[in-house]
Amino acid sequence: MFERNRVDNSSNSTHQSAVPAEITLTDGEVLTGHFLISAARALSDVLNGDIHFLEFEPYERERRFIARSAIRAVKLLDAPAANVLDVRRPIPGAFDPYAALGVKRDTDWDEVRHAYLQLAKAYHADRYASIELPPEVRDYLQQMSRRVNAAYTALEAPRLMVKKADLRPEPVYQSRPRA
């Protein structure tokens, strides 16, 4: 029988995990972001290993490779909360349902629905039920699931109101107008 945990937790190097950290470089520059390493390896193994360059993605900046010899200090951080993880939103607190679903404003309704279904499947809790995940990852998945559902509900509400108005039955009996 197929065992999902064995496949998902295999030592395949294509699966990467993000390890949040603050690094101090030899020139004194301090970067906060996360290391992208193989899911099967620990950060200490990577830092003490034979790899000369490490992949690091600073928050709100482009991903880059940093020479291991250029790192003076590494401080591991707690993962940011789920509501902080999406730094692509232009205004903090603003909610754009189109951006949440990854579609343009002039997108056809069928494409919006397709995007919603794809994201809903990707972030659905049942998909990750049998996998042991860190609490911050579970929180992120729940937050994203709620966000995708809220975006679809916000875009679907006007369509439902029009549909409901069209389905309203005509009255069976109407009284005569008063003269």
**Torsion of the alpha carbons at 95, 83, 120 and 148, rounded to the nearest 10:** -10
* Fold for the domain defined by 89-167: Helix Hairpins (1.10.287)
**pLDDT above 90 (res 137):** no
* Fold for the domain defined by 13-76: SH3 type barrels. (2.30.30)
- What sign for the dihedral angle of Cα 118, 105, 159, 157? positive
Q: Which of these ranges, 7-11, 18-22, 122-126, has the smallest mean pLDDT?
A: 7-11
**pLDDT above 80 (res 89):** no
**pLDDT above 80 (res 98):** yes
Please tell me the distance from the alpha carbon of residue 64 to that of residue 62, in angstroms, as a whole number. 6
- Both tokens of 76, joined, read 């591991």
Domain range annotation of the chain: 13-76, 89-167
**pLDDT above 90 (res 115):** yes
User: What pTM was computed for the model?
Assistant: 0.44
pLDDT band (50, 70, 90) for residue 83: low
**How many residues are given for the chain?**
179
